[in-house]
Each structure stands twice: as C-alpha cells, then as structure tokens.
C-alpha cells in the first residue's frame, strides 16, 4: 500500500481505495474542487504514478463514491432543530413501520429508511443534518465539477447508510448517481448452463456503494472512495438520466408496501371506490384471501353471518346483471320516470358490468335471537347488519392490500328475490349489495381532506 492512511482492496482488474485529505466540509464548499485538491495532494504525497496505478490521479472511467454527509454539509442542509423528531416529521411523506421510537419512513426524496435520513451525529448541539435535497442533482454537479477541474469523465455515486429488511447490519447504498449505470439488466441472457435469465437485474450502484464503504469506514474521516476497473459502467449514455432514483421500486411493484400495522392503517385510508377497471383478470387466490380477512370481523353471539358469492365467470355476471337491470327498469317505470331518464340511470349503474369480477356479500342471520318484542327484535337485526358491514369493509381493505380496486354498490339489496333466484341462493341469504373488483384503470382521485375532529364528540 502506497500510504498507511489510504485503504485499498484489489481483485482481478478492480481497485477500490479511500481518498484522504478531504477535510472538514462547510456550507458553500465546492465538493468537486475539494476532491480535485485531495487527488492532487494524494498523488504528490505518495509519489505514486501510472506505474503503480493506486492513487495516480483520477482517470476516465473511475467511479467516485461520495458520502452524502459531506454533500449535505456543502449544500447547507445543516439545520437548527431542537427536536429531532420534529425534523423527521418534516422530512416524512409516509410512515412505513414504527416500533417504539424507531420509525421507518418514506422521505421526500422517495427513499424508505430509518428516521427519514435525518442525522444528529457529528453535528453541533441543537442541529441535525438532512439528506441532500436532490441527491441525483448533487451527483451531476460533482461530476461536472470534476470534468472542469481535472478534465476527466468519471461516474459519481452519492451514498448513505441503510438498514435492510430481513438482514441484520447496515450497509451503504446509492441515493444519487450521475454517469453510472445504476442497474445492470441481464434479462434475456443466459447463465453458464444456458438457462435463460428472466428476473436478473443487478443493483450495480448499490454494490459500488457497499464496496466503497469497506474502505471508507464509518469513523475514519474518509468520505470519498474511488473504484477503478469498471469503466464499462461509466459513460455519457448513463449520464443525467434517472440516476439513483431508478433504484427506488415503484409503489405498484412493491410487494411489501403494506407489510406492517401502520401499512394496514394506510390500506384503510388509501382505499378508494374504483369505477373503471382494466381487462386484466383477477387472481382468485387474492379474492379468497380477502374473504379470509372479511370473516375476522366482529359478529353477535359468536355467529359467522357472512357469505360471499364470487361471480368469476362472465356468464354468471351477465345473467345476474341483466336480471337486476330488468328489475330496476320495472321499478323506475313504476316511479313514473321517463325512458330517457331510465336509460341515463342504467348507464350510470354499469360499474358492476364493467368489472372483471363481481362479489355478492350476503348476510345469514341464523344465530339471531327472537324476543317477541319489536324494539329488541329490530336491534337484533341491526346487530347482524352492522356485522355484515364490518365484514364488507374488511373485504374492501384486504382487496386494497392485494393492489386491487373495488366499488361497493347497494343494488342487490333492492332486488333480493331476483338475486337469490338467479344465483340459486337459500331463502335466508340476504344480499348486502355487490362489490365490483378489478385492477384500476387509472390512479384514483385524491380524497377530500377530512379532519377526524369534525367527526368526534367528547363527553
């Protein structure tokens, strides 16, 4: 090793070393210029040159791994905060999980991490350090600065330390990148045995970040590392594109987005009535898992008053909906509605017809008590109706957790005899509306804000 304070690791064709001499970074400092000065000082100090190639200045194709903390300091992200929790609140978009004082959240940069990346270590009392406002933009600025200062075309990765689900310990990952291919998509190729690769997309930027962390260390005061030997990952085609943002899994593809009690609450609050669906089929397993959640609802007298009729075939749906439409039209004509008005109302009711799956929840009150008293008998019936509603709500929330859209419509309650006849249901099964289920054709509209206090009376 050319110098004792320069950590380096070498493999076939690959070198990774930490760059000494960066020093303390303050607001307004130019990170690219600080790196350029440190590169020159390291080369002069060690006397290394092209022959040994360890710290012989930066060359085209090198990749710099820059700890986000110095980027944040240079960008003035050190802020006064008497309460770190308040700072975390300000940076949080969504709480993913919570255990005691620890919060895993999605922050304003779209990153899911502990405490929104708010750092209170190695900062003056009463202050905290926030992540860079736009880490990809920070990486691009450093890359351009190094090109201006040293005339080299390098890649830049801004790194931060993350914990990981299912794995103990911390590692550095990429939160910003410029000029680096952050994902290496190997799908469509084959492995050494000729087997097709169908799901292999390598997070190269995260692997680079972790390699740099091995030589930078957490407490060595070496915030920048250099990787040499992976020039094929660097180039104009990788510059200023999606950056490290491409490493953040889209919400629609995140299988674990709803994996905690906090996420269950989110499923409740994010559930929407969906009226337009794609033609994509609905997984029968997802429907059955939603029913399993539905039947955990509370019910009177230890009964199980829920039944769910799944109309998964188009033929069954059309037969039921045609019969219900005819019954509805007959009702509207009895009400004296015009044929134009009737046609308009029927069109508005097509949400059930346009869904790829239809579910009819039914109430079976076979455990109800009979008192022979009108007041108590009415209350008994209401108990079972409330239990049926709780089951339907569980069902809708579980569908949201399965990333399925749904719409509860009351129509079957107005023609129960028709529904029972068409579906060949027992006489004591009371249809409690119908639920259209499918994959949403578009993102739901934002729900108007509702303040819980508007619905609360305290005594």
Q: Does residue 302 share a domain with residue 336?
A: yes
For residue 394, the domain's CATH number is 3.40.109.10
Q: Does residue 223 share a domain with residue 138?
A: yes
In a domain, 175, yes or no: yes
In a domain, 150, yes or no: yes
Q: Does residue 119 share a domain with residue 239?
A: no
Q: Does residue 158 share a domain with residue 141?
A: yes
In a domain, 62, yes or no: yes
Q: In a 10 Å sphere around its CB, with 0-12 CB exposed, 13-18 middle and 19+ buried, how is residue 235 labelled? A: middle
In a domain, 197, yes or no: yes
At which of 95, 112, 130 does a domain end? 130
Q: Does residue 300 share a domain with residue 205?
A: no
In a domain, 99, yes or no: yes
C-alpha distances (whole Å) from 124 to each of 79, 121, 347 are: 10, 8, 65
Question: What domain count does the chain have?
Answer: 3
For residue 43, the domain's CATH number is 3.30.1330.100
In a domain, 261, yes or no: no
Q: What is the three-class DSSP state of 297? A: coil
Look up residue 377 and give its two tokens. Answer: 């008998």
Q: Does residue 126 share a domain with residue 89?
A: yes
Answer whether 81's CB lies under 8 Å from 128's CB.
yes
In a domain, 263, yes or no: no
Q: In a 10 Å sphere around its CB, with 0-12 CB exposed, 13-18 middle and 19+ buried, how is residue 360 labelled? A: buried
Using alpha carbons only, give the angle 213, 167, 15 rounded to the nearest 5 degrees. 25
What residues does 447 pair with on adjacent strands? none
Q: Does residue 302 share a domain with residue 322?
A: yes
In a domain, 317, yes or no: yes
Q: Does residue 445 share a domain with residue 365?
A: yes
At which of 185, 213, 248 does a domain end? 248
At which of 110, 130, 150 does a domain end? 130
pTM here is 0.63
Q: Does residue 321 share a domain with residue 217?
A: no
Q: Which helix (H) or strand (E) holds 330?
A: helix 314-334
Q: Give me the pLDDT at residue 47, please.
A: 46
Q: Does residue 62 share a domain with residue 116?
A: no
Q: Does residue 114 share a domain with residue 161?
A: no
Domain that holds residue 89: 78-130
Answer whether 133's CB lies under 8 Å from 77's CB.
yes
Q: What is the three-class DSSP state of 227? A: strand
Q: Give me the pLDDT at residue 381, please.
A: 94
What's the DSSP call for residue 234?
Answer: B
For residue 120, the domain's CATH number is 3.90.1660.10
Q: Does residue 295 share a domain with residue 212?
A: no
Q: What is the pLDDT along the chain (459 residues), one digit of tens a residue?
A: 333 334 444 445 789 999 998 988 999 999 999 999 999 877 655 444 443 444 458 999 999 999 999 999 999 999 888 788 889 999 999 888 877 778 889 999 999 999 999 988 778 888 999 999 999 999 999 999 999 999 999 999 999 999 888 889 999 999 999 999 999 877 667 667 677 766 678 899 999 999 999 999 776 789 999 999 999 899 865 545 679 999 998 887 887 776 555 556 666 767 888 888 999 999 999 999 999 999 999 999 999 999 999 998 999 999 999 999 999 999 999 999 999 998 888 887 677 888 999 999 999 998 899 999 999 999 999 999 999 999 999 999 989 878 899 999 999 999 999 999 999 999 999 999 999 999 999 887 777 888 889 999 999
């Amino acid at each position: 090793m050319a110098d004792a304070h320069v950590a380096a690791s070498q493999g076939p064709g690959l070198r990774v070393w930490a760059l000494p001499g960066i020093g303390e970074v303050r607001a307004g400092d130019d990170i690219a210029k600080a790196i350029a000065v440190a590169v020159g000082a390291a080369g002069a100090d060690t006397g290394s040159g092209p022959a040994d190639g360890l710290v012989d200045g930066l060359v085209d194709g090198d990749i710099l791994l820059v700890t986000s903390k110095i980027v944040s300091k240079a960008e003035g992200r050190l802020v006064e905060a008497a309460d770190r929790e308040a700072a975390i609140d300000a940076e949080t978009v969504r709480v993913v999980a919570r255990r005691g004082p620890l919060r895993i959240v999605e922050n304003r940069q779209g990153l899911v991490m502990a405490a929104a990346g708010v750092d209170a270590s190695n900062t003056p009392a009463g202050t905290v350090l926030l992540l860079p406002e736009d880490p990809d933009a920070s990486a691009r600025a450093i890359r351009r600065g190094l090109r201006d200062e040293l005339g080299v075309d390098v890649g830049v990765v801004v790194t931060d330390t993350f914990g990981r689900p299912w794995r103990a310990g911390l590692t550095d990952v990429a939160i910003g990148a410029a000029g680096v291919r952050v994902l290496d998509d190997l799908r469509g190729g084959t492995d050494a045995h000729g087997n097709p690769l169908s799901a292999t997309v390598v997070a190269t930027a995260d692997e680079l970040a972790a390699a740099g962390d091995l030589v930078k260390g957490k407490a060595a005061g070496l915030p920048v590392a250099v990787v040499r030997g992976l020039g094929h990952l660097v180039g104009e085609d990788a510059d200023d594109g999606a950056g490290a943002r491409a490493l953040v899994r889209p919400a629609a593809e995140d299988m674990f987005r709803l994996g905690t009690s906090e996420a269950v609450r989110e499923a409740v609050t994010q559930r929407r009535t969906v009226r337009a669906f794609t033609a994509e089929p609905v997984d029968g397993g997802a429907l059955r898992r939603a029913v399993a959640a539905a039947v955990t609802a509370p019910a009177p007298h230890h009964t199980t008053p829920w039944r769910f009729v799944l109309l998964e075939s188009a033929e069954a749906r059309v037969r039921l909906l045609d019969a219900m439409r005819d019954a509805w039209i007959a009702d509207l004509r009895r009400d004296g509605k015009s044929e134009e008005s009737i046609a308009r109302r029927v069109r508005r009711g097509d949400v059930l017809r346009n869904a790829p799956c239809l579910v009819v929840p039914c109430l079976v009150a076979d455990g109800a008590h009979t008192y022979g008293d009108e007041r108590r008998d009415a209350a008994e019936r209401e108990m079972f109706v409330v239990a049926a509603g709780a089951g339907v709500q569980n069902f809708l929330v579980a569908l949201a957790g399965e990333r399925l859209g749904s719409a509860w419509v009351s129509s079957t309650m107005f023609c129960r005899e028709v529904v029972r006849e068409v579906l060949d249901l027992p006489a004591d099964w009371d249809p409690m509306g119908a639920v259209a289920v499918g994959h949403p054709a578009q993102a739901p509209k934002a729900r108007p804000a509702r303040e819980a206090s508007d619905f609360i009376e305290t005594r």
